[in-house]
Amino acid sequence: MFINMDKESKITLTATNKQGWPNMANSTFNTFRQSEHSLCDVFLRGDDEMEPIPAQRHVLAANSLYFNAMFASGFVESKPDHREISIGGVDTEILSFIVEFLYVGSCRLPSGTMRRVMDLLAASNMLQVDELSRACTIYLEKCLDSDSALELWLSAESCRVSDLAETFKKFVQSYFRSISRSQRVLELDLQDMAALLGLEEVNLGNAANEDTLVELLLRWLTNNPKALDSNLLPVLSKICWSEASQECKDKFREKLAEISKDSSSESFQAEEVFDISKSSSLNQSFNRNFSCSVCAIEGLQNSRAGRRCPQTSSMEVADIDRRTGTVLRQWSGEFKGGYCFLQYHGNLYVSSNSYHRDNKHIDVLCLSVADVMNANLKVPKTRSWDVGSVWWDLFHKQEYAHAIDEERGIVYLCGCASHNFPALPKQVLKLDIENNDCTELTSLPAVRAHHTAIVVEGDLFVLGGEEDWSWSGTYNPVSTVLKYDWMNNEWKEVSPMLDPRTNGAYACVDGKIYASGGSTSVDHSRNVEVYDPSLDIWTKLSPMSVPRDNHRLVAVGKYLFAMGGESFTEEDGACSWIILNTVERYSITEGCWEAAWEMAKFRQEIMAFTV
């Protein structure tokens, strides 16, 4: 199928077998029918008052099974004197596109009209114009991204295009977190909002719980106070109220009372809604599953034979069930060329020129994971930043240890984490992304390499790494943990880890820091421990199944996922280093590790995060 956008901003949908579609005779007949209706023996009328469309029966019958059956049967429409035929369920404009396609194998629609293409798909399915159906399907699938998914899904449901509706529904489920924050959600009518809240599986990242759905409903009601004049049960019954917290339900009641008072709704009966926990009609729970996408990107690779390969810019994603930790689905994508990446607020920020030190500006591309899945790097979200912006520091200090405070919109750069540079600065920067502000904090007390920085409930920690590193190749892994004292603007040591580790992996769950693997001064480690900042105590946990160095640890619900990294094997008394593609899962509740899945590529020094 060929899709073309011409200078008049038209979408051209063309048959996949264009060469074998219309012959010269059909093209000539099309010219005849468009000029004074020459040789036309039938007129097609749609579901409106527009002028009927002239056509020739033999052309329609030759290219549509629907019209073939109509004209070759004994139906009244097959009689020569029955010249005007009404096609129910299709408007005249859509019908004109179909007739044009039947004659010349292509049709042109105004651009930016995905809904009209969906209407055209539904009509071509009904009239059994398979090539046009295929062309519409390919076009709509190419349009699919996080901005269009909701509209496409609802349109496909409305037009009863079941196959596409299921495809688009899965996309909406996978990227529910970003879609639910869009302005388009607030513009939905009551029926569509009920459909959205009724999804049995949604991806809300690490914010996944029923309270998030209640907050979404509340935002929608705030934006649509007139909905209080309607029957709210269709949307209220789509919330699993038994899974929502009491605090959330109380907030819902209070806010709903304010909305009803401000809207002066006469038909709204507050008492029918407020007592949610006791109302059987509002407490029909269904089994909603919450998922979270775990993304892995970049990394050094090797083959199964253990040979190292260059850095990769490929990306792969696994959608995880937050309650069970199991993999629901996997997919992967590929970036062409060299890029630098930063994950922030559920998006992936990409720069292709961050290492060009002579540049005076930097181009930053903002991608949702949905954009990446569609290999859509040409999205209109690119900004060019000069040397005075925080983005310049973010991408030109890639070697620094990054710590992201998502809640406050702050990124911390805590000393250079790589010993590939002769001067290892101890500098610590606080970057306010939203306000484009950079503040220098007190430097680290000593030079470190291969350490990690992490934010836990607003507190900034620096863990492990190497001190007293020298270019002679000797290094000294440390167990030291530093915490920034905001009151006195200085770094203070807290309880050290039980094991010294460099290139370790860390994750935060429920205000606690989990540390895994890395290297000691002797060997790669598979040890795991957890730190409780409120008690200033480290506790040893079950070790991973294999040693992992330069891996990543990602938290999803009550599970930890150790991904990739470098390890070693012993065969015939000889030790060989290998790069891993395995992922293992730790259940915080049960305290044990088990195999989770295998990545498509072997990776170490990867970037991994949840969305």
Both structure tokens of 421: 């540079």
**Element at 576 (helix H, strand E):** strand 574-579
Is the CB of residue 363 less than 8 Å from the CB of residue 168? Answer: no
Please state which of the ranges 81-85, 217-221, 334-338 shows the lowest mean pLDDT.
334-338
More confident residue, 63 or 362: 63
Instruction: Using the CB atoms, write b or e for 216-237: b if 16+ within 10 Å.
Output: bbbebbeebbebbebebeebbb
DSSP output for 218-237: HHHHHH-GGGGGS--HHHHT
Please tell me whether the overall predicted TM-score, pTM, comes out greater than 0.75 for this model: no
Residue 393, pLDDT above cutoff 50: yes
At 273 the pLDDT is: 55
What is the rounded average pLDDT of the residues 382-406?
Answer: 76
In this prediction, residue 26 has a pLDDT band, given cuts at 50, 70 and 90, of: low
At 476 the pLDDT is: 83
In this prediction, residue 3 has a pLDDT band, given cuts at 50, 70 and 90, of: very low
Query: Which top CATH class is 2-169?
Result: alpha beta
At 484 the pLDDT is: 96
Q: Which residues contact 280 (CB under 8 A, 6 or more apart)?
A: none
Q: Which residues contact 569 (CB under 8 A, 6 or more apart)?
A: 575, 576, 578
SS3 276: coil
More confident residue, 301 or 14: 14
Residue 8, pLDDT above cutoff 50: no
φ, ψ (nearest 5 deg) of residue 504: -80, 175
What is the rounded average pLDDT of the residues 385-401?
Answer: 75
Output the average pLDDT for the chain. 80
Longest dimension (CA), the chain: 98
At 63 the pLDDT is: 85
Give me the sign of the Cα torsion angle 372, 376, 381, 385. positive
Is the CB of residue 87 less than 8 Å from the CB of residue 44? Answer: yes
Most confident of 66-75, 84-93, 257-266, 296-305: 84-93
At 35 the pLDDT is: 64
Alpha carbons 557 and 127: distance in angstroms, whole number: 49
Residue 352, pLDDT above cutoff 90: no
At 354 the pLDDT is: 46
The ranges assigned to domains in the chain are: 2-169, 175-282, 289-610
Please state which of the ranges 78-92, 94-108, 409-423 shows the lowest mean pLDDT.
409-423
The CATH code belonging to domain 289-610 is 2.120.10.80
At 298 the pLDDT is: 74
Percent share of the chain, pLDDT over 70: 75
Residue 307, pLDDT above cutoff 60: no
Quick one: which of 202, 381, 317 has its CA closest to 601?
317
Residue 349, pLDDT above cutoff 70: yes
Residue 20, pLDDT above cutoff 70: no
At 452 the pLDDT is: 94
What is the rounded average pLDDT of the residues 415-434?
Answer: 77
If one counts every other C-beta atom within 10 angstroms of the C-beta of residue 185, the result is 17
Percent share of the chain, pLDDT over 90: 32
Residue 280, pLDDT above cutoff 50: no
pLDDT digits (tens, 9 = 90+) for 194-213: 999 999 888 877 666 888 89
At 502 the pLDDT is: 92
pLDDT digits (tens, 9 = 90+) for 517-560: 999 877 889 999 999 999 999 999 999 999 999 999 999 988 99
What is the rounded average pLDDT of the residues 261-289?
Answer: 56
What is the rounded average pLDDT of the residues 164-190?
Answer: 87
In this prediction, residue 217 has a pLDDT band, given cuts at 50, 70 and 90, of: very high
pLDDT digits (tens, 9 = 90+) for 552-601: 999 998 899 999 999 877 665 566 778 899 999 999 999 999 999 999 88
At 338 the pLDDT is: 55
At 440 the pLDDT is: 93
What is the rounded average pLDDT of the residues 336-358?
Answer: 62
Quick one: which of 455, 445, 456, 511 has its CA closest to 478?
445
